[in-house]
Amino acid sequence: MSGTDPYAGFPEDFFRRDDERPDELFYGPPRLVTHIDDDALAAVGALYAELGIDGWAPRPQRVLDLMSSWISHFRTPPAELVVLGMNAAELAANTAATERVVQDLNADPRLPLPDEDVDAAVCCVSIDYLTRPIEVLEEIGRVLRPGGTLAITFSNRCFPTKAVRGWLLTDDEQHAALVAELVRRAGRFTEPEVSLRTPPGRGDPLYAVVATRLP
């Protein structure tokens, strides 16, 4: 995307939030809770198993869980799980983690990992909080190995003061189209696949956008 504005076409305030105070203030107190219902959480684990990025994969997987917390929703954790999030206490409570990184991606979207370091990257119900999502997605593409999997899941719940304004002004189907477009604009992935992973009209919806790192 060198030489072009990756956000061209989006309204100027699309990726601003109502609460623009430093995120570390909002996320400072640990929240050892889940943010979607049990069926949606189960759908996250089922997706990871279907994609072959959990502990049942034919070969050991090294996975990056972005904007993570005290639980990563794998049915069986991968051999190596790097969890990156805002709250040290929450990450410390994540028993599946083998590495923990405290980082605010809105302050610095650069990932502290070498090129082609992980087999897969996941982001669960957090993409709506990123103010520079394309830069983060470009970084994910950098640290993923060629052919590696990107899996972004989201629902219709959020902290409204911290979600970007464009997310709050759009519906579920538009959210899916938005996330797919952000993945496209990162320029490092195959055409993203969008799916609804839970039964329509029953409980929290769980959507997934999945793509593969290009060679």
Read off the pLDDT of residues 201-211 as tens digits, 9 standing for 90 and up: 889 999 999 99
- 86 CB burial (10 A radius; 0-12, 13-18, 19+): buried
* pLDDT above 80 for 26: no
CA atoms within a 13 Å half-sphere pointing along the CA-CB vector of 22: 8
Q: Which range (39-48, 140-149, 156-165) has the least confidence?
A: 156-165
Task: For strands 193-196 and 207-212, give the pairing.
Answer: antiparallel
178-200 confidence digits (pLDDT tens): 999 999 999 999 999 999 999 98
5-23 confidence digits (pLDDT tens): 999 999 999 999 999 988 8
Domain ranges of the chain: 23-212
77-131 confidence digits (pLDDT tens): 999 999 999 999 999 999 999 999 999 999 999 999 999 999 999 999 999 999 9
pLDDT-derived band at 33, boundaries 50, 70, 90: low
> How is residue 106 annotated by DSSP?
T
When the candidates are 3.40.50.1820, 3.40.50.920, 3.40.50.150, 3.20.10.10, the CATH number that belongs to 23-212 is: 3.40.50.150
> How many other CB atoms sit within 10 Å of the CB of residue 63?
28
Task: In whole angstroms, give the CA distance from residue 139 to residue 34.
Answer: 27
* pLDDT above 70 for 2: no
